[in-house]
């Protein structure tokens, strides 16, 4: 028996009345969806379409439409089209299914069920444009108490030495997306944006291309299990160092950059041979226990003269709070918690959709555990994984995060349509590709501005939300769960979040 073709995922049509046969759709589609036939453009292979919308964005006449799932399956609540198609695929191939972007199951968002507060009468809301509004955040270790000495003249002087901290003027940073996974132009655009907005971005685990050196003060260099591109110069260049243990999109497994993406530049930056797969092991093979993590943290600090904060990134898994508390004792300066909606270029679908927990619950559990153990000041908490807007960021901070990483949102600001086909390496927006003609489509200056605009706009919205809540410094928002209410969240989740229900 043959399985045959599954129905079309997307049906593309060109309105012949509107089409002017300019051919931009053909040029722009790297998947070969369109073809010139005589003096007309036709949709040759609708099946190739990924709904990346590049053709739609480039069509000067709005002539193209894309319809998702034009052919119905017999409806069934359990045996969804996705469930059936996964089986056809695996029956045919006998392989693990890879998928792009974050968790694609229709699970409710907790963020959407948390509502923010505003002042009425008993305290004034603050207009952030007229009055001071402080979003400045320091990331790193803080003492839990200070020691002072009094000089002979009676002045008070600080005795406590403060460990190195990163200072940001917005709580929004850009997470780690490696060179290789995304293009150099994409990284350059992000680097320009963080430079412009006074924040930081992660290099990802793929090393630092020389073109990024001018922005190195705003880069957090990542050390992952594959140690790609890691040498002492790389460590010294970064403003901070991040040890990547895990990632929300695929907790517990390693990574795999296919050899076809390892061209000369990626090869040089990652310090591996051209064309060879870049394989990150699932664990760090020098970390088999928490005390080994402390060793790596110290080794990185020793190598860089104790001048740089060291972050540790973990996926939000069931026991995330206890793990974070262990990290807080490792000498690390911040713990990055990546929720199960975190994006990725490619992850096994079964991991992407089924492993890990939501970032909202993870932040709450981590923040509370660190407080219970009296080590909250030992580490900053950076939350990531599916933050879509300023409200998500504000809620994450109110739950207890110090700052956030955004990833997908920054890519969307550069054109990404979340088509989820990053693993093909043909990203028509020049983001998740290394093909020179596609990379060239992404103008780092223009897209850098777009990402900076996004950060500015969200930052302004966070200020407005804080002002409406009568708060003029982000310290007073952090962990302020009194200013959140849960809407249609169950009792157990409300307890974990430590948030009261609406009306209470």
Partner 1 sequence: MATHIDAAGVHYTPLNQQVRTAVAAGETEIVLDHVLGQRFIADGLVGEVTITVNGVPGGDLGMFMRGPTVVVHGNAEHAPGNTMEAGTIVIHGSAGDAVAHSMRGGKVFVRDDIGYRGGIHMKAYHEKRPYLVVGGDARSFLGEHMAGGTILLLRLNATGSFAERGLASGIHGGEVFIRGEVDDRCLAVGAVRMPFEEEDRARIRPLVEEYCRYFGADVGAILAGEYTRIGPESTRPFAGKYTWE
Partner 2 sequence: MCGIISVVDRSGAVMDGARIRDALSMMDERGSGEGAGYAAYGVYPEFADCYAIHVFFDNIVETKAQVDALLQTWGTIVHDEEIPTYEQPHLKKVHTPWRYFFRPDPTLMTGTPSPEDDIVTYLVMKVNTTMRGALIYSSGKNIGVFKAAGWPEDVADFYRIQDYKGYIWLAHNRYPTNTRGWWGGAHPFNLLDWSVVHNGEITSYGTNRRYIESYGYKCTMFTDTEVVAYLVDLLARKHGLDEKLAVRALAPPFWDEIDRMPPKERELNRAIRLTYGSAMMNGPFAIVVAHRDGIAGFTDRIKLRPLVVAEEGDRMYISSEEAAIRRIAPELDRVWMPRAGEPVVGRVRR
Q: Do residues 239 and 332 make contact, with C-beta atoms less than 8 angstroms apart?
A: no
Query: Residue 431, interface with partner 2 (CB under 8 A)?
Result: no
Write phi, then psi, for 186 (nearest 5 degrees). Answer: -65, -45
State the binding partner of 144 from partner 2, partner 1, none, CB within 5 to 8 A by kind: partner 2
- Using the minimum distance from each CB to partner 2, give the nearer residue, 131 or 490: 131
Binding mask 448-467 toward partner 1 (x if CB under 8 A, else -) reads ------------x-------
Ranges within 357-396 binding partner 2 (CB under 8 A)? 371-372, 374, 376-377
What's the token pair of residue 99?
């998928």
In the list 230, 469, 489, 497, the residue contacting partner 2 (rule: CB under 8 A) is 469
In the shown chain, the binding pattern of residues 125 to 144 toward partner 2, with x for contact by CB under 8 A and - for none, equals: -x----xx-x-x-x---xxx
Binding residue count for partner 2, defined by CB under 8 A: 41
Place of tokens 């020691």: 147
- Distance (Å, rounded) from C-alpha 170 to C-alpha 460? 9
Of residues 465, 406, 414, the one with CA closest to residue 172: 406
3-state secondary structure 314-354: EECCCCHHHHHHHHHCCCCCEEEEECCCCCCCCEEHHHHHH
What's the min distance (Å) between Cβ of 201 and partner 1?
25
User: Which of the listed partners (partner 2, partner 1, none) does 440 bind, with a CB threshold of 5 to 8 Å by partner kind?
Assistant: none
Q: Is the CB of 127 or the CB of 372 nearer to partner 1? A: 127
482 forms part of the interface with partner 2 (CB under 8 A): yes
The site string for partner 1 over 128-147 (x = CB under 8 A, - otherwise) reads: -xxxx---------------
Each as own residue / partner, the long-range contacts of residues 142-147 (CB below 8 Å, 24 or more positions apart, any chain) are 142/377, 143/377, 144/374, 144/377, 144/378
- DSSP letter string over 60-111? TT--EEEEE--SPPPP-SSS-HHHHHHHHHHHHH-SPPEE-SS--S-PPPSG
Q: Tell the smallest beta-carbon distance from residue 129 to partner 1 (Å).
A: 6
Q: Is 169 in the site for partner 1 (CB under 8 A)?
A: no
Structure tokens given for 26? 């053909």
162 touches partner 2 (CB under 8 A): yes
DSSP H helices, 279-431, are 290-303, 320-328, 349-354, 359-372, 390-399, 408-413
Judge residue 258's burial from the number of C-beta atoms within 10 Å of its C-beta, 0-12 exposed, 13-18 middle, 19 or more buried. middle
Comparison of 398 and 442: residue with beta carbon closer to partner 2 = 398
Which of partner 2, partner 1, none lies near 148, with the C-beta cut-off 5 to 8 A by kind? partner 2
Interface residues with partner 2 (CB under 8 A)?
119, 122-124, 126, 131-132, 134, 136, 138, 142-146, 148, 156-158, 160, 162, 165, 371-372, 374, 376-377, 469-473, 475-483
């Amino acid at each position: 028996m043959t399985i045959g073709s599954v129905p079309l995922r997307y049906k593309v049509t060109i309105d012949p009345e509107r089409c002017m046969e300019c051919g931009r759709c053909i040029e722009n589609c790297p998947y070969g969806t369109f073809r010139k036939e005589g003096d007309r453009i036709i949709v040759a292979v609708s099946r190739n379409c990924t709904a990346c919308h590049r053709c739609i964005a480039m069509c000067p006449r709005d002539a193209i439409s894309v319809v998702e799932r034009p052919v119905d399956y017999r409806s069934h609540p359990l045996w969804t089209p996705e469930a059936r198609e996964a089986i056809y695929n695996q029956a045919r191939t006998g392989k693990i299914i890879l998928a792009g972007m974050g968790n694609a199951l229709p699970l409710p968002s907790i963020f959407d069920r948390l509502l923010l507060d505003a002042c009425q009468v008993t305290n004034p809301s603050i207009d952030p444009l007229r009055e001071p509004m402080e979003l400045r955040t320091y990331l790193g270790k803080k003492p839990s108490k200070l020691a002072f000495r009094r000089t002979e003249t009676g002045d008070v002087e600080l005795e406590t030495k403060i460990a190195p901290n990163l200072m940001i003027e917005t709580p929004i940073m850009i997470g780690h997306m490696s060179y290789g996974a995304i293009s150099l132009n994409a990284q350059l655009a992000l680097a320009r944006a963080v430079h412009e907005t006074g924040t930081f971005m992660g290099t990802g685990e793929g090393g630092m291309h020389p073109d990024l050196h001018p922005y190195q003060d705003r880069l957090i260099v990542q050390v992952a299990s594959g140690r790609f591109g890691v040498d002492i110069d790389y460590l010294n260049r970064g403003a901070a160092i991040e040890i990547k243990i895990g990632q929300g999109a695929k907790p517990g497994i390693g990574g795999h950059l296919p050899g076809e993406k390892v061209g000369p530049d990626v090869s040089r930056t990652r310090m591996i041979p051209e064309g060879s797969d870049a394989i990150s092991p699932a664990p760090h093979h020098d970390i088999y226990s928490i005390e080994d993590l402390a060793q790596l943290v110290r080794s990185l600090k020793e190598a860089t003269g104790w001048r740089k904060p060291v972050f540790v990134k973990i996926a939000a898994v069931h026991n995330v709070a206890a793990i974070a508390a262990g990290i807080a004792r490792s000498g690390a300066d911040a713990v990055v918690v990546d929720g199960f909606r975190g994006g990725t270029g490619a992850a096994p679908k079964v991991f992407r959709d089924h492993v890990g927990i939501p970032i909202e619950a993870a932040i709450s559990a981590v923040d509370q555990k660190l407080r219970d153990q009296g080590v909250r000041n030992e580490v900053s908490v950076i939350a990531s994984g599916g933050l879509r807007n300023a409200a998500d960021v504000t809620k994450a901070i109110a739950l207890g995060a110090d700052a956030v990483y955004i990833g997908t949102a920054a890519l969307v600001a550069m054109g990404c349509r979340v088509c989820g086909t990053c693993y093909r390496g043909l990203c028509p927006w020049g983001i998740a590709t290394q093909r020179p003609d596609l990379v060239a489509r992404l103008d780092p200056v223009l897209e850098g501005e777009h990402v900076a605009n996004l950060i500015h706009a969200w930052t302004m919205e966070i200020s407005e939300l804080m002002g409406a809540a009568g708060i003029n410094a982000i310290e007073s928002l952090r962990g302020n769960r009194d200013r959140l209410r849960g809407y249609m969240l169950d009792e157990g989740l409300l307890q974990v979040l430590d948030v009261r229900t609406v009306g209470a």
